[in-house]
């Protein structure tokens, strides 16, 4: 059974993980108002986004188990 929306969500999370990895490599700054977002926060974003992408990919394929 095809699950196109699950694949799209997985691809979006994979792109976000790549954006966090790029930020970790290049150390570019993100400023929100008067606050600078620390680069170390991208480690959390990378792990979360990559994990969600991986889990959605498994769901779309119908993989079960560990």
Range of the domain at 41: 4-61
Structural domain contains residue 26: yes
Structural domain contains residue 15: yes
pLDDT of residue 9: 95
Q: Over the stretch 22-40, which tens digit does the pLDDT of each residue have?
A: 999 999 899 999 999 999 9
Give the number of other Cβ atoms within 10 Å of residue 52's Cβ.
17
User: What's the number of CA atoms in the CB half-sphere (13 Å) around residue 5?
Assistant: 0
Structural domain contains residue 66: no
Structural domain contains residue 32: yes
* Backbone torsions φ then ψ of 56, nearest 5 degrees: -65, -35
Structural domain contains residue 10: yes
H or E stretch covering 65 = none
pLDDT of residue 1: 57
Average pLDDT over residues 7-13: 95
- What is the domain count for the chain? 1
Structural domain contains residue 48: yes
Q: Which residues pair with 32 in a beta bridge?
A: 35
């Amino acid at each position: 059974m095809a699950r196109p929306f699950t694949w799209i969500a997985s691809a979006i999370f994979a792109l976000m993980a790549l954006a966090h990895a790029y930020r970790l490599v290049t150390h570019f700054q993100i400023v929100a108002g008067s606050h600078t977002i620390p680069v170390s926060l991208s480690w959390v974003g990378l792990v979360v986004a990559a994990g969600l992408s991986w889990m959605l990919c498994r769901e779309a394929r119908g993989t079960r188990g560990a």
